């Protein structure tokens, strides 16, 4: 549940009932509690289409909301507002070839809330990217935040609890995320929860973690905890020791389980000579992607490996990394990696955190010949400066095919570089974030330049 306080601005109600389509608009409620959006809920006495024209006071650029079409119950949300800004607006009602306008009214957007992370744009080469960056602050109160190329917050959503790290931006311009390891929600930019799936509903009986994405069929694909009891007495442990591993679940938004995969069905942890030390977090899967052929790519941080898993049979197709079954050159090795995915070039790309043997982080991509299993370094092999080394967490994604968006979690920094590693844009935050996703330009759904 988000922290939205509903209130009715009395002055606005009195004014709008006095002119224009006033005798048609009733039960108006206005919500300005989020500093970057305004929400109007109202009814009309007859079926009509209604939209809102709005603009900053003193500015010539006007915007039109998308219409609430042919109904008597209306909700119009204005997005992409600026904080602490005075706006003017009027209601436009269309019905039976008749167009009427209300008078012009005002509202002032609120200040940004105190709990948002502080942000300082240390480096800005100008026009580095045109889209937006999506991050998630898991501290209470949890927030989902969108940042533009000026390092400014252009959208946020507050929650009344702490949040889990995993989130993803969908093709439907929604955010799919874990509210906790027992709750999934999908939210649109208006702040509406499209669905909230709770542990125990239908087949939803797994604990989720670290990744949540959608497949082409609209199913939810996530990493899950898979723990199993083994006899470790011969290795100095107990006859019934629990080893904590990972798996994959595919589930639809109503909680129907479509597919599940268990790491322990494909590897024997008793062959690990250090299992007594690693049993409490043996594999540590931390990202999940879908390859171009529909099979899954799983990052196992503690193995320093990416596995390709068949999305039907569950067969392990290959293991990329140190000790894997694909041949690699030493300069291709990655350590404690995150955010493995297929980039715009069709290459397997990841954030190589680095480790004791190399205390630098980088973005690297690979191509793998499906027949020969030959591993080639792809177009991406870009190191961050040593000052931005992040030994855990973090991410790296392409922007516009020629730049890389880095999240250096440990250094509380979001960075954009070119493909030669030159820093073009550097935003410092007061809080560490797990990952930064580039989501490009946003269709704000309700604003069209007039």
3-state secondary structure the chain: CCCCCCECCHHHHHHHCCCHHHHCEEEEEEECCCCCCEEEEEEEEEEEEEEEEEEECCCCCCEECCCEEEEEEEEEEECCCCCCCEEEEEEEEEECCEEEECCCEEEECCCCCCCCCCEEEEEECCCCCCCEEEEEECCCCCEEEEECCCCCEEEEEECCCCCCCCEEECCCCEEEEEEECCEEEEEECCCCEEEEEECCCCCCCCCEEEEEEECCCCCEEEEEEEEEEECCHHHCCCCCEEEEEEEEEEECCCCCEEEEEEHHHCCCHHHCCCHHHHHHHCCCEEEEEECCCCCEEEEEHHHCEEEEECCCCCCEEEEEECCCCCCCCHHHCCCCCEEEEECCCCCEEEEECCECCECCCEEEEEEECCCCCCEEEEEEEEECCHHHCCCCCCEEEEECCCEEEEEECCCCEEEEEECCCCEEEEEEECCCCCCCEEEECCCCCCCEEC
pTM of this prediction? 0.92
- Reply yes or no on whether the pLDDT at 6 is more than 70: no
Q: Is the pLDDT of residue 3 over 50?
A: no
Mean of per-residue pLDDT scores for the chain: 92
Predicted pLDDT at 5: 32
State the pLDDT at residue 371.
85
9 Cβ neighbours under 8 A, 6+ residues apart? 30, 107
29 preceded by cis ω (within 30°)? no
Q: Does residue 26 surpass a pLDDT of 70? A: yes
pLDDT digits (tens, 9 = 90+) for 379-402: 999 999 999 999 999 999 999 999
Q: Which CATH architecture describes the domain 10-108?
A: Sandwich (2.60)
Q: For residue 14, name the pLDDT band (cuts at 50, 70, 90).
A: very low
Reported confidence tier of residue 445, pLDDT bands at 50, 70, 90: low
Q: Show the tokens assigned to 284.
A: 């540590």
For residue 160, what pLDDT is reported?
85
Q: What CA–CA distance (Å, rounded) separates 411 from 354?
A: 14
- pLDDT at res. 24: 75
Q: Taking 60 as the threshold, does the pLDDT of residue 56 lie above it?
A: yes
Query: Which pLDDT band, with edges at 50, 70 and 90, does 370 fall under?
Result: confident
**Cα separation, 165 vs 366, whole angstroms:** 26
- 429: closest CA among 404, 408, 443? 408
Pick from 137, 53, 49, 42: nearest CA to 93 = 49
How many C-beta atoms lie closer than 10 Å to residue 54's C-beta? 24
pLDDT tops 80 at residue 23:
no
- The predicted-structure confidence for 147-202, as pLDDT tens digits, reads as follows 999 999 999 999 988 899 999 999 999 999 999 999 999 999 999 999 999 999 99
pLDDT at 20 over 50: no
450 pLDDT more than 70:
no
Q: pLDDT tens across 199-249, in order? A: 999 999 999 999 999 999 999 999 999 999 999 999 999 999 999 999 999
* pLDDT at residue 264 is higher than 70: yes
Show me where the domains of the chain are located.
10-108
**Is residue 16 over pLDDT 60?**
no
For residue 401, what are the CA distances in angstroms to 340, 366, 418, 423?
A: 17, 15, 10, 16
């Amino acid at each position: 549940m988000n922290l939205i306080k509903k209130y009715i601005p009395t002055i606005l109600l009195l004014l709008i009932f006095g002119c224009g389509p006033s005798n048609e608009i009733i039960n108006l409620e206005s919500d300005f509690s989020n500093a970057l959006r305004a929400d109007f809920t109202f009814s009309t006495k007859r079926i009509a289409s209604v939209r809102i024209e709005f603009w900053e006071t003193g500015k010539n650029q006007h915007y039109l909301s998308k219409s609430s079409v042919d109904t008597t119950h209306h909700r119009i949300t204005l997005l992409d507002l600026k904080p602490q800004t005075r706006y003017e607006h009027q209601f436009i009602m269309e019905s039976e070839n008749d167009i009427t306008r209300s008078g012009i009214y005002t509202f002032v957007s609120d200040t940004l809330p105190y709990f948002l992370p502080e942000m300082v744009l240390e480096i800005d080469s100008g026009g580095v990217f045109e889209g937006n960056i999506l991050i998630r602050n898991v501290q209470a109160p949890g927030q989902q935040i969108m940042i533009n190329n000026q390092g400014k917050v252009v959208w946020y959503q507050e929650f009344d609890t702490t949040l889990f790290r995993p989130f993803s931006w969908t093709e439907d311009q929604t955010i799919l995320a874990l509210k906790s390891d027992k709750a999934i929600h999908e939210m649109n930019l208006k702040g509406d929860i499209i669905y909230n799936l709770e542990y125990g509903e239908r087949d939803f009986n797994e604990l989720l973690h670290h990744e949540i994405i959608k497949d082409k069929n609209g199913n939810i694909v996530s990493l899950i905890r898979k723990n199993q009891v083994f006899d470790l007495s011969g290795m100095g442990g107990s006859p019934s020791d629990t080893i904590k591993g990972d798996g994959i679940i595919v589930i639809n938004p109503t909680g129907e389980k479509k597919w599940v995969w268990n790491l322990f069905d494909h590897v024997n942890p008793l062959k690990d000579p250090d299992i007594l030390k690693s049993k409490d977090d043996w594999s540590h899967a931390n990202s999940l992607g879908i390859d171009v052929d529909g099979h899954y790519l799983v990052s196992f941080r503690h193995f320093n490996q990416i596995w390709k898993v068949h999305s039907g049979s569950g067969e392990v197709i290959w293991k990329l990394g140190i000790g894997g079954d694909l041949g690699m050159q030493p300069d291709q090795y990655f350590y404690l990696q995150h955010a493995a995915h297929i980039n715009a070039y069709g290459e397997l790309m990841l954030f190589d955190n680095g480790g004791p043997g190399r205390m630098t982080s980088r973005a690297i991509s690979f191509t793998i010949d499906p027949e020969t299993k030959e591993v080639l370094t792809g177009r991406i092999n870009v190191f961050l400066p040593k000052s931005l080394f992040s030994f855990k967490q973090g991410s790296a994604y392409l922007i516009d095919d020629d730049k890389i968006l880095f999240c250096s979690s440990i250094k509380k920094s979001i960075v954009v570089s070119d493909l030669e590693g030159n820093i073009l844009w550097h935003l410092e935050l007061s809080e560490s974030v797990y990952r930064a996703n580039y989501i490009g330009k946003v269709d704000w759904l309700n604003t069209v330049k007039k």
